[in-house]
Chains A and B, each alone.
Chain A
């Protein structure tokens, strides 16, 4: 029986921005006795804070919250890609992490070669790799493109390949980010059937999404996250309702009871105001999650200063 156990989980992201990362700075700082100061200057984004939950076989957990709430980081941590700074995680059962459509594929290799690498990663014997290849080939309908480097693929073809590859493996624990649903308009109806059969086949599902309809249909339990913290945890309908219509949390992740509901209705517009320049940050070679986390830090929460 598969299960996930997360206990007091916290994840910190070190941001080695610009020259702080360089050896020169570290050596000079050490030589001039300023290492301590330098350490303090190191920006650490607390991407996840004190998260605890247990999922047993049959549980379907949905993660909701704004961009930068830490949903993807939590999925990556459960999947064993990031290791926690505090707390512990135990996942029993085979894991499949579907986090980005590229699945770490090499753009210079052909579709076929990328499928083979995936098969080898899963430890499949030669025969099953061929089976995997045929399965993906049938589903993705790439034809001769399968023997071309995937950098020549259109974005639609790339998603088809990634989707086919990801859904051809049936894990016990499925960790899924929302891109599967986001690109859904481009998929044929059979794509949905295939995804749903995989979701049903998994014993434990953790799904991160902005699409409340999907979360409500697929999940039995929902965790609402903001700024790396759990705001609410409970039955799907209840938490979604609270997220959409209830009071919003403030900077400390506390829900203010005194704000009248009428004012909150207008709140979402204000909350979006300050944003991080994605392009600028991305050029600085910063983690995607870090960008999310920074956005979370920049987002203003108190919704009460609009109408004076």
Chain B
């Protein structure tokens, strides 16, 4: 059947919804300053669409566990089993008392799951959203938010395990634990930065994800997660060189009822600043090319 146009006498059915007026200006000639302004604009526009980013992240989780009875609580169970198994084994290996060691291990592992999961997911921030990016103009930061929200939900599902360990060993940290909240805020900023940086790098160079994967595997062993930093004694001088060490400690220490030293906060903020600066430079530079790389 050939299309016969001109039959404009159809019942006039007005579309219900009109998007708000907007203005789009794109110029190939951009100064570095303008590139940064545009990148910042992308982020503010993306924050305005926070409901979309959050829903995308939530739907990712829902989708992953669609059709399963326990849904995302499988995460909780598998984490609980892993901590119980590793806790009993390593407390024997390291000759440590379970009462002191298990809360440490539970916090470390849950935190590391979040960090490692985020870094892995950050690599597919933009490549995973290829269809959407090529169909409509959307702030790239929405895709970053999707990854951050997704990781946040996973972290939240692991939290009951920590509460369970606290309850079992009666090791409630007290009010010091509130200090973990600003630290988690810093984590969120870092998470966004990692998504922009790794997401863009991995879109351009498809070899980066496996490299990142093996780096994170090594990082798991050289970061105090299953072992305590005290076990290294004076041989642990290099620990501050590991960015994951301080970032982990600022969340873990308060949750164990301890105070993280000021130098730990300094390292954590310093490493975060480097990450954010690197990520901002990267994103401002490549934002206009990203759609072509997918």
Contact = CB atoms under 8 A, between A and B. Distances in A.
Interface in B12-28: 12-28
Given A197-B10, A218-B5, A103 B135 contact: yes
Contacts of A93: 21-23
A201 interface: yes
Interface string A14-50: 1010000111101000000000000000000000000
A287 B133 CA distance: 13
A17 to B, nearest CB: 12
Q: Is the interface of A mostly helix, strand, loop or mixed?
A: mixed
A19 B104 CA distance: 45
Given A91-B23, A197-B15, A120 B51 contact: yes
Nearest to A100: B135
B49 A213 contact: no
A109 B63 contact: yes
A194 B8 CA distance: 10
B17 A23 contact: no
Given A22-B205, A23-B205, A103-B135, A113 B24 contact: no
B4 interface: yes
B52 interface: yes
A76 B22 CA distance: 17
B19 A90 contact: no
A94 B21 contact: yes
Contacts of A14: 292-293
B236 interface: no
Contact of A23 (B51, B208, B288, B293): B208
Contacts of B15: 167-170, 194, 197-198, 201
B83 to A, nearest CB: 31
Classify chain B's interface size. Answer: 35 or more
B242 to A, nearest CB: 24
Given A170-B14, A170-B18, A217 B6 contact: yes
Contacts of A10: 28
A217 B8 CA distance: 10
B18 A169 contact: yes
Contact of A88 (B11, B23, B25): B25
A249 interface: no
Contacts of B288: 83
A190 interface: yes
Contacts of A196: 7-8, 10
B207 A170 contact: no
A116 B8 CA distance: 31
Contacts of B24: 80, 89-92, 95
Nearest to B207: A23
A82 interface: yes
Given A170-B14, A170-B18, A190-B10, A120 B49 contact: yes
15 contacts: A22-B207, A23-B211, A91-B24, A93-B22, A99-B135, A100-B135, A104-B136, A106-B59, A109-B59, A121-B52, A123-B49, A132-B17, A190-B10, A192-B10, A194-B13
Interface of B: 1-8, 10-29, 48-49, 51-52, 55-56, 59, 63, 131-138, 204-208, 211, 288-289, 291-293
5 smallest CB-CB distances across A and B, nearest first, come from A193-B10, A104-B135, A217-B5, A170-B15, A80-B137
